[in-house]
Chain A
């Protein structure tokens, strides 16, 4: 089962860019501010400093948020053309709005990672921060016994899975980020990657592929659709 995805951008008036991503019962918003003044201790003479802050839905920041921050930073930092704005700060704030599960085990944390990454990428695109490529992320579960591959699993499917993988692909279809949990064989992993690549493709497809079903959107297509709507709106004056 593929859960329904939804996204939007530009809803925070005080931030330079904002994006939200809803995948099933997981909902995340992200904002981007920058390039702006940087603290002296973070200043880099040749590059922009990138900072990711993850805020939980309830309570205070714990190791779980720090883990998400570290993972997001490792995926987003290479994406940004940091040398275009030396001695500045690009701040990405990710706010968890709703989570699928309440128990704090590794798997439910992994479910947050892909939506958080997509929300952050949308916010970066909205803020017009110079990027090398577009990253689209998804979660893929490898099921116990049957060996089936489930893209964007729900909580029940996650419980019956042998391994869970968060994958992100660039617009050229290259694997840009992997985070896995569980036991799996290399052959299984290859199948997981292929399944993930299918939904993450940002490539322009034919019109029939765009409007097959209104509710379901593959991540890559969704990002493309949201951004082209924004550009269309920005250029509306010309009509």
Chain B
């Protein structure tokens, strides 16, 4: 698959045509839609087109996080008001006080009532889901899964350490790289060049490789924060530094990095 580099102001040359009549074109991040049929890039990145889902988006990397709906983020509690907590959603570069503030209602926890709500103190680290994201309003968070209404891993993160990564790396750790890989494999199949071009990495080999040997807990926030906890501080630090170092590494290089780190551990 030949990927295309777009600059701000460049028009997307070929848009996928909906295969079913009732599907609409999905325009993803980095692109602006101008009716009737013009889609223009507004930042530098690679253009990705998914014909099956009829979607176009720009793949790039950044440091500043902008909240969007249903993103899992790692936030810090600043203070509590009468009915909600005020949290800061830090980006990978910005310290917590200088970042976007979000609201986490006291009742936005699984089975929470006025009397049984979890108490969060200022400075707590919380894994939460963005339940309201709108450029005109402050974002709101929730600590339960939208479908099952259960915690599903959301809530206060006790102990452990938080590491900073770029936004692109955070997305990859959450499995977005796998989707891009699928897309490329499909494109190769269509062109009949499956055997050529070698292996395509999914960008999270580092995590797969670490998980095979070490025992640790991990939570990845789309705001570029990764929380790691384990029985041994050495393991926590090893996992964190491996993830930070594998930012620009290919799949094979990531595996080699982990092998090396495990040998030293």
**A residues with CB within 8 A of B:** 13-17, 33-37, 81, 84-87, 125, 127-134, 170-172, 202, 224, 227-228, 230-231, 233-239
A-B contact pairs, 17 of them (CB 8 A): A16-B63, A16-B93, A16-B94, A85-B66, A127-B63, A130-B43, A131-B43, A172-B9, A227-B7, A230-B61, A231-B60, A235-B3, A235-B59, A236-B248, A237-B250, A238-B201, A238-B203
Please, how many angstroms separate the alpha-carbon atoms of A127 and B32 in the complex?
18
Nearest-neighbour CB distance to chain B for A90, whole angstroms, equals 10
A134–B250 CB distance below 8 A: no
The 4 closest A-B pairs by CB, nearest first: A133-B9, A131-B8, A234-B61, A128-B62
Nearest-neighbour CB distance to chain A for B33, whole angstroms, equals 13
Residues of A within 8 A of B8 (CB): 125, 130-134, 171
Nearest-neighbour CB distance to chain B for A31, whole angstroms, equals 11
B66–A236 CB distance below 8 A: no
Q: How many A-B residue pairs have CB under 8 A?
A: 116
Contact residues of B between 158 and 194, Cβ < 8 Å to A: 166, 168, 172, 177, 180-181, 184
Asked if B110 lies at the interface with its beta carbon under 8 angstroms from chain A, I say no
Nearest-neighbour CB distance to chain A for B196, whole angstroms, equals 14
A131–B42 CB distance below 8 A: yes
Please, how many angstroms separate the alpha-carbon atoms of A202 and B44 in the complex?
13
Asked if B135 lies at the interface with its beta carbon under 8 angstroms from chain A, I say yes
A231–B43 CB distance below 8 A: no
A129–B43 CB distance below 8 A: yes
Please, how many angstroms separate the alpha-carbon atoms of A14 and B93 in the complex?
5
Residues of A within 8 A of B250 (CB): 236-239
B32–A81 CB distance below 8 A: yes
